[in-house]
């Protein structure tokens, strides 16, 4: 079964660092892109960025550039999203997603992780 399994919920204080993970299985991890999507409580979906684990090519949404770091370790089929200094406004559900390069560019987010809830509160 093709799946993305994310790390568990986190509760952190403002200013703390955090790294959450997304492990792919059931497919060739290095042949697909892994992206991250934020959903703040009661709000819509926001694309944060994407990485190609095959060569670590990484692209960020302008809204998130410099705010987070996306990385991947292809040896263990895992992608990461990390913050160096969390803010209360980072409180949200974070989903990892899979996509692939099609003829006209990147395609659908066909597989979604179950989500990681990050709560930042003093």
Partner 1 sequence: QAVLTQPASLSASPGASASLTCTLRSGINVGTYRIYWYQQKPGSPPQYLLRYKSDSDKQQGSGVPSRFSGSKDASANAGILLISGLQSEDEADYYCMIWHSSASVFGTGTKVTVL
Candidate ranges 13-21, 24-32, 81-89, 98-106; the one touching partner 1 (CB under 8 A) = 98-106
Q: Going by C-beta distance under 8 Å and a sequence separation of 6 or more, which residues neighbour residue 103?
A: none
47 binds partner 1 (CB under 8 A): yes
Binding mask of the shown chain, residues 60 to 89, with x at each position contacting partner 1 by CB under 8 A: -xx---------------------------
d(CA 81, CA 20) in angstroms, rounded, equals 5
Shortest distance (Å) from residue 110 CB to partner 1: 5
Interface with partner 1 (CB under 8 A), residue from 20, 22, 50, 92:
50
Quick check: 72 and 82 in contact, CB under 8 A? no
Candidate ranges 8-16, 19-27, 57-65, 78-86; the one touching partner 1 (CB under 8 A) = 57-65
Which strand ranges, in their side-by-side order, compose the sheet holding 78-83?
3-6, 18-25, 78-83, 69-73
Q: Which among 24, 17, 12 is positioned nearest to 68, based on CA atoms? A: 17
| Chain residues that interact with partner 1, rule: CB under 8 A | 35, 37, 44-47, 50, 59, 61-62, 95, 104-110, 112-115
């Amino acid at each position: 079964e093709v799946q993305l399994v994310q790390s568990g919920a986190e509760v952190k204080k403002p200013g703390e660092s955090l790294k959450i993970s997304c492990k792919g299985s059931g497919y060739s991890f290095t042949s697909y892109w892994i992206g991250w999507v934020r959903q703040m409580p009661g709000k819509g979906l926001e694309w944060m960025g994407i990485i190609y684990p095959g060569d670590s090519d990484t692209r960020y949404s302008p809204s998130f550039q410099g705010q987070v770091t996306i990385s991947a370790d292809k040896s263990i089929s895992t992608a990461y999203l990390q913050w160096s200094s969390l803010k209360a406004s980072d409180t949200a559900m974070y989903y990892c997603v899979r996509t692939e390069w099609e003829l006209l560019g990147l395609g659908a987010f066909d597989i979604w992780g179950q989500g990681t809830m990050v709560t930042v509160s003093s």
